[in-house]
Protein backbone atom coordinates (compact mmCIF):
# COMPACT_ATOMS: atom_id res chain seq x y z
CA UNK A 1 0.00 0.00 0.00
CA UNK A 2 1.08 3.60 -0.36
CA UNK A 3 3.21 4.96 2.42
CA UNK A 4 1.01 6.72 5.00
CA UNK A 5 3.90 8.29 6.80
CA UNK A 6 5.28 11.76 6.20
CA UNK A 7 8.98 11.50 5.33
CA UNK A 8 11.01 10.92 8.47
CA UNK A 9 14.74 10.45 8.77
CA UNK A 10 15.47 11.25 12.39
CA UNK A 11 13.89 8.64 14.62
CA UNK A 12 16.20 5.97 13.29
CA UNK A 13 19.23 6.21 15.54
CA UNK A 14 20.49 9.65 16.41
CA UNK A 15 23.22 9.80 13.71
CA UNK A 16 25.10 7.78 11.13
CA UNK A 17 27.36 6.63 13.95
CA UNK A 18 24.96 4.10 15.40
CA UNK A 19 24.46 4.80 19.12
CA UNK A 20 24.62 1.68 21.28
CA UNK A 21 23.07 2.75 24.58
CA UNK A 22 19.52 1.54 25.13
CA UNK A 23 18.18 5.07 25.64
CA UNK A 24 18.92 5.76 21.98
CA UNK A 25 18.29 2.42 20.31
CA UNK A 26 15.58 0.60 22.17
CA UNK A 27 14.18 2.52 25.13
CA UNK A 28 12.17 5.72 24.81
CA UNK A 29 14.40 8.81 24.79
CA UNK A 30 14.28 11.49 27.53
CA UNK A 31 13.52 15.04 26.47
CA UNK A 32 14.00 18.48 27.92
CA UNK A 33 10.96 20.68 28.55
CA UNK A 34 12.53 24.13 28.12
CA UNK A 35 10.51 24.52 24.93
CA UNK A 36 7.13 24.10 26.62
CA UNK A 37 4.84 27.12 26.40
CA UNK A 38 7.04 29.07 24.02
CA UNK A 39 4.56 29.04 21.12
CA UNK A 40 1.05 29.06 22.59
CA UNK A 41 -0.64 30.88 19.71
CA UNK A 42 -3.96 32.71 20.10
CA UNK A 43 -7.01 30.82 21.36
CA UNK A 44 -9.85 31.32 18.91
CA UNK A 45 -12.24 28.35 19.21
CA UNK A 46 -11.07 26.77 15.93
CA UNK A 47 -10.91 23.26 17.28
CA UNK A 48 -12.43 19.89 17.96
CA UNK A 49 -14.93 19.13 20.72
CA UNK A 50 -14.21 19.74 24.38
CA UNK A 51 -15.16 16.20 25.41
CA UNK A 52 -16.02 12.85 23.86
CA UNK A 53 -19.69 13.78 24.21
CA UNK A 54 -19.12 16.87 22.05
CA UNK A 55 -16.48 15.39 19.72
CA UNK A 56 -16.35 16.88 16.23
CA UNK A 57 -17.26 14.08 13.80
CA UNK A 58 -14.98 13.22 10.90
CA UNK A 59 -17.35 12.32 8.07
CA UNK A 60 -14.79 10.97 5.59
CA UNK A 61 -11.08 10.60 4.96
CA UNK A 62 -8.83 12.35 4.15
CA UNK A 63 -9.65 15.01 6.74
CA UNK A 64 -7.80 18.14 7.87
CA UNK A 65 -8.47 20.69 10.57
CA UNK A 66 -6.63 23.36 12.51
CA UNK A 67 -7.18 24.78 15.94
CA UNK A 68 -5.73 26.06 19.19
CA UNK A 69 -6.06 24.17 22.46
CA UNK A 70 -5.15 26.96 24.88
CA UNK A 71 -8.80 27.89 25.49
CA UNK A 72 -9.77 24.30 26.31
CA UNK A 73 -9.40 22.30 29.51
CA UNK A 74 -7.65 19.09 30.49
CA UNK A 75 -10.28 16.34 30.15
CA UNK A 76 -8.20 13.26 29.28
CA UNK A 77 -4.70 11.83 29.43
CA UNK A 78 -2.83 8.74 28.30
CA UNK A 79 0.81 8.13 29.27
CA UNK A 80 2.92 7.47 26.17
CA UNK A 81 5.43 7.47 27.56
CA UNK A 82 5.58 10.64 29.66
CA UNK A 83 3.19 10.84 32.61
CA UNK A 84 1.41 13.66 34.39
CA UNK A 85 0.18 15.74 31.46
CA UNK A 86 -2.07 18.66 32.38
CA UNK A 87 -2.42 19.97 28.85
CA UNK A 88 -5.82 21.01 27.49
CA UNK A 89 -7.20 18.70 24.82
CA UNK A 90 -9.79 18.47 22.06
CA UNK A 91 -11.63 15.48 20.60
CA UNK A 92 -12.69 14.24 17.17
CA UNK A 93 -14.75 11.13 16.40
CA UNK A 94 -14.54 8.76 13.45
CA UNK A 95 -16.76 5.81 12.51
CA UNK A 96 -15.13 3.89 9.62
CA UNK A 97 -17.22 2.35 6.89
CA UNK A 98 -14.48 -0.22 6.16
CA UNK A 99 -11.63 -1.72 8.13
CA UNK A 100 -8.73 0.72 7.87
CA UNK A 101 -5.28 1.63 9.08
CA UNK A 102 -5.81 5.28 10.01
CA UNK A 103 -2.92 7.75 10.12
CA UNK A 104 -3.21 10.88 12.31
CA UNK A 105 -0.55 13.52 11.75
CA UNK A 106 0.16 16.69 13.78
CA UNK A 107 3.05 17.91 11.61
CA UNK A 108 3.16 21.74 11.45
CA UNK A 109 1.77 22.13 14.99
CA UNK A 110 3.51 24.80 17.05
CA UNK A 111 3.69 23.14 20.47
CA UNK A 112 4.71 19.82 22.06
CA UNK A 113 1.73 17.70 21.04
CA UNK A 114 0.39 14.28 21.96
CA UNK A 115 -2.29 12.27 20.15
CA UNK A 116 -4.16 9.15 21.19
CA UNK A 117 -7.25 7.17 20.28
CA UNK A 118 -10.00 5.60 22.40
CA UNK A 119 -12.54 3.11 21.15
CA UNK A 120 -16.18 3.36 22.18
CA UNK A 121 -15.43 1.40 25.38
CA UNK A 122 -12.65 3.86 26.30
CA UNK A 123 -9.92 1.35 25.61
CA UNK A 124 -6.73 2.96 24.33
CA UNK A 125 -6.15 1.91 20.72
CA UNK A 126 -2.88 3.82 20.29
CA UNK A 127 -0.90 6.82 21.49
CA UNK A 128 2.08 8.88 20.38
CA UNK A 129 3.81 11.79 22.10
CA UNK A 130 6.92 12.43 20.01
CA UNK A 131 7.29 11.39 16.39
CA UNK A 132 9.01 14.43 14.90
CA UNK A 133 12.11 15.75 16.66
CA UNK A 134 12.44 18.91 14.62
CA UNK A 135 13.36 17.05 11.45
CA UNK A 136 11.89 17.85 9.01
CA UNK A 137 11.93 21.28 10.69
CA UNK A 138 8.55 22.34 9.35
CA UNK A 139 6.90 19.59 11.40
CA UNK A 140 7.94 21.27 14.67
CA UNK A 141 9.77 19.98 17.71
CA UNK A 142 8.16 17.01 19.51
CA UNK A 143 5.05 16.87 17.36
CA UNK A 144 3.07 13.67 16.96
CA UNK A 145 2.06 11.04 14.45
CA UNK A 146 0.04 7.87 15.04
CA UNK A 147 -1.26 4.97 13.01
CA UNK A 148 -4.05 2.85 14.47
CA UNK A 149 -6.28 0.06 13.14
CA UNK A 150 -9.98 0.95 13.04
CA UNK A 151 -12.82 -1.45 12.29
CA UNK A 152 -16.33 -1.22 10.88
CA UNK A 153 -19.04 -1.05 13.54
CA UNK A 154 -16.96 0.96 16.00
CA UNK A 155 -16.61 4.65 16.77
CA UNK A 156 -13.16 5.97 17.66
CA UNK A 157 -12.25 9.15 19.52
CA UNK A 158 -9.11 10.99 18.47
CA UNK A 159 -7.73 13.22 21.22
CA UNK A 160 -5.31 16.04 20.41
CA UNK A 161 -3.40 16.70 23.62
CA UNK A 162 0.01 17.95 24.77
CA UNK A 163 3.08 17.24 26.85
CA UNK A 164 3.26 18.69 30.36
CA UNK A 165 0.90 21.65 30.35
CA UNK A 166 1.73 22.78 26.82
CA UNK A 167 -0.91 24.08 24.40
CA UNK A 168 -0.99 25.96 21.12
CA UNK A 169 -1.85 25.80 17.44
CA UNK A 170 -2.29 22.32 15.96
CA UNK A 171 -2.72 21.07 12.42
CA UNK A 172 -4.44 17.71 12.17
CA UNK A 173 -4.41 15.52 9.06
CA UNK A 174 -6.20 12.16 9.11
CA UNK A 175 -5.83 9.68 6.24
CA UNK A 176 -6.79 6.04 5.78
CA UNK A 177 -5.44 2.99 4.02
CA UNK A 178 -6.05 -0.75 3.99
CA UNK A 179 -5.17 -2.81 7.05
CA UNK A 180 -1.95 -4.72 6.60
CA UNK A 181 -1.63 -8.47 7.17
CA UNK A 182 1.75 -10.05 6.44
CA UNK A 183 1.55 -13.75 5.58
CA UNK A 184 4.37 -16.03 6.69
CA UNK A 185 5.97 -18.07 3.93
CA UNK A 186 5.56 -21.77 4.89
CA UNK A 187 9.19 -22.40 3.91
CA UNK A 188 10.56 -19.73 6.28
CA UNK A 189 12.30 -20.23 9.61
CA UNK A 190 10.27 -18.84 12.53
CA UNK A 191 12.08 -16.38 14.80
CA UNK A 192 10.15 -17.62 17.84
CA UNK A 193 10.56 -14.50 20.00
CA UNK A 194 7.73 -13.79 22.45
CA UNK A 195 6.76 -10.23 23.36
CA UNK A 196 4.92 -9.60 26.62
CA UNK A 197 5.05 -7.23 29.57
CA UNK A 198 7.95 -8.14 31.84
CA UNK A 199 9.95 -9.56 28.94
CA UNK A 200 13.76 -9.43 29.03
CA UNK A 201 15.00 -9.65 25.45
CA UNK A 202 17.32 -12.66 25.48
CA UNK A 203 16.59 -13.85 21.93
CA UNK A 204 18.25 -11.34 19.59
CA UNK A 205 18.42 -7.98 21.36
CA UNK A 206 21.92 -7.56 19.94
CA UNK A 207 23.96 -4.69 21.34
CA UNK A 208 20.93 -3.64 23.40
CA UNK A 209 21.01 -6.83 25.47
CA UNK A 210 23.34 -7.74 28.32
CA UNK A 211 25.07 -9.98 27.45
CA UNK A 212 24.86 -9.29 23.72
CA UNK A 213 22.73 -11.87 21.92
CA UNK A 214 21.99 -12.40 18.23
CA UNK A 215 20.28 -14.83 15.87
CA UNK A 216 22.71 -16.40 13.40
CA UNK A 217 21.17 -16.09 9.94
CA UNK A 218 23.05 -18.99 8.38
CA UNK A 219 20.54 -20.80 6.18
CA UNK A 220 18.97 -20.61 2.73
CA UNK A 221 15.65 -22.02 1.59
CA UNK A 222 15.40 -24.33 -1.41
CA UNK A 223 13.96 -22.62 -4.46
CA UNK A 224 14.95 -19.11 -3.37
CA UNK A 225 18.46 -18.87 -4.82
CA UNK A 226 21.07 -17.74 -2.30
CA UNK A 227 18.40 -16.38 0.03
CA UNK A 228 17.11 -17.35 3.44
CA UNK A 229 13.62 -16.56 4.76
CA UNK A 230 12.53 -15.72 8.31
CA UNK A 231 9.18 -14.89 9.90
CA UNK A 232 9.64 -12.53 12.85
CA UNK A 233 7.73 -10.61 15.48
CA UNK A 234 8.46 -7.08 16.68
CA UNK A 235 6.71 -4.27 18.52
CA UNK A 236 6.76 -2.69 21.95
CA UNK A 237 6.72 -4.11 25.48
CA UNK A 238 7.39 -3.29 29.12
CA UNK A 239 10.64 -4.65 30.54
CA UNK A 240 11.12 -6.46 33.86
CA UNK A 241 11.16 -3.18 35.81
CA UNK A 242 8.38 -1.56 33.78
CA UNK A 243 10.73 0.15 31.33
CA UNK A 244 9.17 1.02 27.98
CA UNK A 245 10.99 -0.73 25.14
CA UNK A 246 10.75 -1.24 21.45
CA UNK A 247 11.91 -4.63 20.26
CA UNK A 248 15.11 -4.53 18.20
CA UNK A 249 16.06 -7.68 16.30
CA UNK A 250 19.72 -8.26 15.37
CA UNK A 251 20.87 -11.02 13.02
CA UNK A 252 24.46 -12.11 12.34
CA UNK A 253 25.32 -12.84 8.70
CA UNK A 254 28.55 -13.59 6.86
CA UNK A 255 28.80 -12.16 3.34
CA UNK A 256 29.43 -14.72 0.61
CA UNK A 257 30.26 -12.09 -2.01
CA UNK A 258 30.54 -8.38 -2.62
CA UNK A 259 26.85 -7.56 -2.16
CA UNK A 260 24.50 -8.41 0.72
CA UNK A 261 20.77 -7.65 0.70
CA UNK A 262 17.92 -7.73 3.19
CA UNK A 263 14.23 -7.41 2.32
CA UNK A 264 11.56 -6.70 4.93
CA UNK A 265 7.77 -6.79 4.69
CA UNK A 266 6.02 -5.80 7.90
CA UNK A 267 2.65 -4.90 9.39
CA UNK A 268 4.01 -1.68 10.90
CA UNK A 269 6.64 0.61 9.42
CA UNK A 270 10.01 -1.07 10.07
CA UNK A 271 13.47 0.45 10.32
CA UNK A 272 16.30 -1.44 8.59
CA UNK A 273 20.10 -1.28 8.85
CA UNK A 274 23.13 -3.33 7.87
CA UNK A 275 25.88 -2.75 10.46
CA UNK A 276 29.36 -3.80 11.47
CA UNK A 277 29.79 -6.12 14.46
CA UNK A 278 31.57 -3.99 17.07
CA UNK A 279 29.10 -2.95 19.77
CA UNK A 280 31.67 -0.52 21.17
CA UNK A 281 31.96 1.27 17.84
CA UNK A 282 28.94 0.43 15.71
CA UNK A 283 29.15 1.72 12.16
CA UNK A 284 26.42 1.88 9.53
CA UNK A 285 27.28 -0.15 6.44
CA UNK A 286 23.91 0.56 4.78
CA UNK A 287 20.76 2.35 5.85
CA UNK A 288 18.60 3.57 7.22
CA UNK A 289 15.76 2.20 5.11
CA UNK A 290 12.08 2.17 6.03
CA UNK A 291 9.63 -0.56 5.08
CA UNK A 292 6.09 0.90 4.99
CA UNK A 293 3.28 -1.48 6.03
CA UNK A 294 2.85 -4.39 3.59
CA UNK A 295 5.43 -2.94 1.20
CA UNK A 296 8.47 -5.20 0.66
CA UNK A 297 11.55 -3.00 0.96
CA UNK A 298 15.12 -4.00 0.09
CA UNK A 299 18.36 -2.62 1.53
CA UNK A 300 21.70 -3.60 -0.05
CA UNK A 301 25.29 -3.14 1.05
CA UNK A 302 28.67 -3.53 -0.61
CA UNK A 303 30.46 -6.22 1.42
CA UNK A 304 33.77 -8.00 1.80
CA UNK A 305 33.45 -11.76 1.18
CA UNK A 306 33.83 -13.77 4.39
CA UNK A 307 33.19 -10.73 6.61
CA UNK A 308 30.55 -10.81 9.36
CA UNK A 309 27.80 -8.16 9.51
CA UNK A 310 24.65 -7.45 11.55
CA UNK A 311 21.22 -7.12 9.98
CA UNK A 312 18.91 -4.94 12.11
CA UNK A 313 15.08 -4.74 12.13
CA UNK A 314 13.01 -2.63 14.55
CA UNK A 315 9.93 -0.41 14.74
CA UNK A 316 10.57 2.97 13.15
CA UNK A 317 9.19 4.76 16.21
CA UNK A 318 10.37 4.33 19.78
CA UNK A 319 7.06 4.00 21.54
CA UNK A 320 3.56 3.27 20.40
CA UNK A 321 1.75 3.87 23.66
CA UNK A 322 0.68 0.37 24.55
CA UNK A 323 2.02 -3.16 24.41
CA UNK A 324 1.70 -4.26 20.82
CA UNK A 325 3.28 -6.86 18.58
CA UNK A 326 3.27 -7.17 14.81
CA UNK A 327 4.66 -9.61 12.28
CA UNK A 328 7.29 -9.18 9.60
CA UNK A 329 9.18 -11.31 7.10
CA UNK A 330 12.91 -11.00 6.45
CA UNK A 331 14.80 -12.27 3.42
CA UNK A 332 18.61 -12.19 3.43
CA UNK A 333 20.54 -12.96 0.24
CA UNK A 334 24.17 -13.59 -0.70
CA UNK A 335 25.36 -14.83 2.68
CA UNK A 336 27.22 -17.89 3.90
CA UNK A 337 24.91 -20.70 5.00
CA UNK A 338 25.27 -23.97 6.89
CA UNK A 339 21.80 -25.48 6.57
CA UNK A 340 18.79 -25.68 4.26
CA UNK A 341 15.62 -25.92 6.39
CA UNK A 342 13.28 -28.76 5.49
CA UNK A 343 10.65 -28.56 8.23
CA UNK A 344 9.65 -25.64 10.44
CA UNK A 345 7.10 -24.94 13.12
CA UNK A 346 4.37 -22.60 11.96
CA UNK A 347 4.42 -18.91 12.87
CA UNK A 348 1.14 -19.21 14.75
CA UNK A 349 2.08 -22.36 16.67
CA UNK A 350 5.25 -20.77 18.06
CA UNK A 351 3.49 -17.51 19.02
CA UNK A 352 0.62 -19.40 20.64
CA UNK A 353 3.01 -20.76 23.29
CA UNK A 354 3.27 -17.27 24.80
CA UNK A 355 -0.36 -16.11 24.73
- Please report the pLDDT score of residue 169 as a whole number: 93
Asked if residue 343 has pLDDT above 70, the reply is no
- CATH topology agreement for domains 22-27+181-352 and 52-177: yes
**pTM passes above 0.85:** no
What's the pLDDT tens digit per position in 156-214?
A: 999 999 999 999 999 999 999 888 889 999 999 999 888 888 888 889 999 988 899 99
- Please report the pLDDT score of residue 17 as a whole number: 30
| Domain boundaries along the sequence of the chain | 22-27+181-352, 52-177
Tell me the CB-side half-sphere exposure of residue 277, using CA atoms within 13 A: 12
Overall average pLDDT of the 75-104 stretch:
91
Higher per-residue pLDDT: 50 or 319: 50
Asked if residue 341 has pLDDT above 80, the reply is no
What's the pLDDT tens digit per position in 218-267?
A: 999 999 999 999 999 998 887 888 777 889 999 999 999 999 999 999 99
Distance between CA atoms of 80 and 325, rounded to whole angstroms? 16
- Please report the pLDDT score of residue 25 as a whole number: 55
- Please report the pLDDT score of residue 199 as a whole number: 84
Asked which of 29-38, 264-273, 305-314 is least confident by mean pLDDT, the reply is 29-38
pLDDT band at 319 (very low <50, low <70, confident <90, very high): low
Asked if residue 110 has pLDDT above 50, the reply is yes
Topology at the third CATH level for domain 52-177? Jelly Rolls (2.60.120)
Distance between CA atoms of 161 and 65, rounded to whole angstroms? 15
Q: Are 120 and 109 in contact (CB under 8 A)?
A: no
Residues 6+ apart with CB under 8 A from 128: 80, 114, 115, 116, 144, 145, 146, 317, 319, 320, 321
Higher per-residue pLDDT: 159 or 343: 159
What's the pLDDT tens digit per position in 32-50?
A: 777 888 778 878 777 889 9
Higher per-residue pLDDT: 82 or 296: 296
What's the pLDDT tens digit per position in 130-154?
A: 888 777 788 988 999 988 889 999 9
61: left (phi over 0), alpha (psi -120 to 50) or beta: beta
List Cα–Cα distances, 287 to 17, 75, 241, 313, in angstroms: 11, 42, 32, 11
- Is the CATH number 2.60.120.380 carried by domain 22-27+181-352? yes
Amino acid sequence: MNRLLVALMVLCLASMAFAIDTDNTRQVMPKMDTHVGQNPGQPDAREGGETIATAVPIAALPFTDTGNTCDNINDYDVACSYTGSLSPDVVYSYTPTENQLVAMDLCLSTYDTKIYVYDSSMNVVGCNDDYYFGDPPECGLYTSYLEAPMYVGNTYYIVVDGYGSDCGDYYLTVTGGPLCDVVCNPDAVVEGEPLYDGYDDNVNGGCNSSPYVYTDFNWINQGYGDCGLLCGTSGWFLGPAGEEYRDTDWFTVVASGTMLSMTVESEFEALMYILNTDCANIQVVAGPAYAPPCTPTTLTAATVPGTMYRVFVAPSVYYYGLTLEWDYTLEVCNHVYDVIPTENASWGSVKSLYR
